[in-house]
A and B are shown apart, each in its own frame.
Chain A
């Protein structure tokens, strides 16, 4: 059974077809949610919310684009909005913690490459980070990214290029790792 037939069956309320459609796409949705969120509980929440929205709104899917493209548009919307809310909440918590920690001396160990890479990716502007993770880490094409984020393909390419440039500068201390 091809995907359009599967979608037609989901529209009629066929729960087996819903599960089949879910199984066909859940890995990619969960992986992307996890890469962007970095937290299993959040990634699961975002994945569930994505599929709940997708099933609720399947009536509005006209088939002009691939189902996966439509689904990834929902995924990125759910994840990025969710992360913004989490970030605001954590910022408030951090502000409170900072107020409590005034006067407490802290020692920081020299970060290793893995830590620095994580920090450098986390520090990228949201658009750059999203495009970098989708393209370089999860293997989406610029066309898929453009459709999912509602931007031109050229914008996706430009953001990826800038993201790589920023990462190269941020990791310049470790240049020996890739020139060796």
Chain B
């Protein structure tokens, strides 16, 4: 049975008109794009961490954090008498950022999972918006930190920034339509699956530290 809103004549005309006039693509520039893809992939060095490597990195990061804190406190005590000493090498600093990134991603995952859960009331919007603003600040700091140089992490951070901006703008008067649009955007961009895949496997207390 035909829906009362259907109009086959209009739909046929619309298809034809849109196909020929709306953003009609030119011939695919295959070679031009392929050359750029090859060049971009050659310059990209993404290190995929295997599960055992993640544990090793986490253990090393904890060790380095401890050493870093020890050195920092020691420097505080003797600061007036000694010349400045480099506190940590670049690689150890990056590992510290990696640990910070993991904790931040776990926290954001928990937050977005709570946001997407059904049964939310309008009164919750203000609370979510406030928490989103906090996370947004951290996200922007992460983008500007060495963690933001990671070619695997940066697109995710930018996606998260966009989602958090939208949630931060929710107000108590916002209806279900606003939150549905945000949730729909999250689903379309696969933010949560990407976020979860970016979080290294690890003990629950470490992963959820600082969560809501």
- Chain A positions within 8 Å of B30 at CB level: 22-23, 26
- Stretch in B4-12, B101-109, B126-134, B140-148 touching the partner: B4-12
Which residues of A from 1 to 37 have beta carbons under 8 Å from B?
A: 19, 22-23, 26-27, 30-31, 34-37
Q: Tell me the complex Cα distance, A137–B22, Å.
A: 9
A136 interfacial contact with B, CB 8 Å? yes
User: How many residues of chain A have a CB within 8 Å of chain B?
Assistant: 51
Asked if B9 and A178 sit within 8 Å, CB to CB, the answer is yes
9-residue interface stretch from B33-41, B55-63, B69-77, B91-99: B33-41
Determine the chain A residues whose CB is within 8 A of the CB of B28 once the complex forms: 26-27, 30-31
Residue among B6, B11, B23, B25 with max Cβ neighbours from chain A (10 Å): B23
Inter-chain contacts of A44 with B (CB < 8 A): 29, 32-33, 36
Contact of B190 among A43, A77, A85 (CB under 8 A): A77
Can you list 13 A-B contacts (CB < 8 A)? Answer: A22-B34, A22-B37, A27-B28, A35-B23, A44-B29, A44-B32, A48-B36, A73-B190, A76-B188, A81-B158, A150-B190, A164-B10, A178-B12
Interface residues of B (CB under 8 A from A): 3, 5-7, 9-15, 17-19, 21-23, 25-26, 28-30, 32-34, 36-37, 40-41, 44, 46, 155, 158-159, 162, 184-185, 187-190
B7 surroundings in chain A (CB, below 8 A):
164, 168
Which residues of B are found within 8 Å of A76, using beta-carbon distances?
A: 188
Other-chain contact of B33, A30, A137, A179 (Cβ < 8 Å): A30
Bound Cα distance from A36 to B22, whole angstroms: 10
Given A85-B162, A161-B3, A179-B9: A149 in contact with B188 (beta carbons within 8 A):
yes
Partner of B10, one of A51, A73, A88, A178: A178
The residues of A that contact B23 with a CB separation of less than 8 Å are 34-38
Q: For the complex, what is the distance from the CA of A77 to the CA of B76, rounded to whole Å?
A: 48
Find B18's partner among A52, A73, A117 (CB 8 Å cutoff). Answer: A117
Query: Which among A35, A51, A132 is the interface contact of B25 at CB below 8 angstroms?
Result: A35
* Residue contact A117 to B22, C-beta cutoff 8 Å: yes
Nearest-neighbour CB distance to chain A for B179, whole angstroms, equals 15
CA separation between A161 and B44, bound complex, in Å? 43
Q: Are B19 and A137 in contact (CB under 8 A)?
A: yes
Cα–Cα, bound, A55→B46 (Å): 12
